[in-house]
Amino acid sequence: MQIDRKSQSPYAMDHPSAAEHGHCLYMFLEDVRLHLIPMSLNALDDKRFLVEPSDELLVQTVSTLFADPSRNLYNMQDNRQRKLSESLSTFIAEVGRELAHKGISYWEIGNVSDGGPDTVNRSMLFWIAGEVTERLNQVRQRYWQKSEGKRTRHDVILPTSSVQVFRLPRPFGNLRAHRRRMGVLQKASKILPSFVEDGLPRLEHDPVFNHSEYSRAQFSALAKSMRDWGWIGRFWDNKFTTEYYWFWSKIKFHWSLAMLRESIVHDMNALLGRLEIGCEIKMQGPKTAAEINIILEHFKSGSISFGDAFEQASS
């Protein structure tokens, strides 16, 4: 069965809202998507993304492979470097967001024509939407279509040889643990427990309920669940944290983003090897996870000030 993968592009879809996910989970996913690619990497006039060896045809091939399929990036005679930066930064941000949400991201390897006179076919990745499962040497996609008031289920079987899978790095735990973590974020989004919300329409007030203690419990559950990521939400003045913990969590989150970014680029380079594209993607500028980990060790030992540690990790 042929599928229009362009219609399933994550770039063309509206991201789930805070109402659907809960504000904590929504903010976490947005923070990953927005900050995974630092501004220095996103600068279109700055050569932060490089393809080595530097060859015009290889740059065009890599840009097309990771480009948004709903946009025309084939005519790249003007400013190939800008197209490369735009293609890679957007792709990494979208994959990172899905990994932060689901822990895994599936993409089909397809072919497209550059539309030129020689009709050169190039590989391109297409996002696989819906429920995706792996079994033996196959990947099954299950999705639903609605027509004439009826929902129809479709199953598509793909060989693993035509699918690229991105997975969450090991330091963040396995899929089951990550899904539990996302469940905690959803529960932490509840401003009030259900029994209090049920009484609000009747203007009933429970004198026993302590909102401050409830908020403390919610925040403690969130912080404990997200300690591997270092994300504590956007609680800039939260009374439940110390100054040390606040700075530690911010630096730790920078480490998490670096770890996630490096893992995605590693898998992208592995795909280039699978497709026998003789080059490698490299990033210049952002600190590596190893460098930020050293800053964290200095921070914990007290050999560097809170502000200096935060500035170094975020630069």
- The predicted-structure confidence for 263-285, as pLDDT tens digits, reads as follows 999 999 999 999 999 999 998 88
Does position 33 have pLDDT exceeding 50, yes or no?
Answer: yes
- Give residue 13's pLDDT: 47
Residue type for position 268: M
Percent of the chain residues topping a pLDDT of 90: 48
Respond yes or no on whether the N-terminal peptide bond of residue 53 is cis (omega within 30° of 0).
Answer: yes
Bridge partners (DSSP) of residue 49 are 283
Comparison of pLDDT for 157 and 189, the residue scoring more: 157
Q: Which residue has the tokens 């492979």?
A: 65
Return phi, psi of residue 142, to 5°.
-120, 125
- Give residue 214's pLDDT: 81
Give the CA distances from residue 196 to residues 72, 93, 189, 202, 251, in Å, rounded to whole numbers and listed in that order.
Answer: 52, 38, 15, 11, 36
> For all residues of the chain together, what is the average pLDDT?
83
Task: Note whether 37 and 261 are within 8 A (CB).
Answer: yes
Measured CA angle at 252 (ends 246, 257), to 5 deg: 130
Average the pLDDT over 46-64 and give the result: 85
Highest mean pLDDT among 78-82, 132-136, 277-281: 277-281
Domain extents in the chain: 5-314
pLDDT tens for 191-228 read: 777 766 665 555 555 567 777 788 888 888 888 999 99
Task: Note whether 126 and 69 are within 8 A (CB).
Answer: yes
Kindly indicate the confidence band of residue 259, based on its pLDDT and cuts at 50, 70 and 90.
very high
pTM of the prediction? 0.86
Distance CA 247, CA 150 (A): 52
**For residue 43, with 0-12 CB atoms within 10 Å meaning exposed, 13-18 middle and 19 or more buried, which class applies?**
middle
**Of 88, 99, 85, 124, nearest in space to 29 by CA:** 99
Does position 30 have pLDDT exceeding 60, yes or no?
Answer: yes
- Give residue 129's pLDDT: 85
Average the pLDDT over 56-66 and give the result: 90
- Give residue 148's pLDDT: 79
pLDDT tens for 223-248 read: 899 999 999 887 655 677 888 999 99
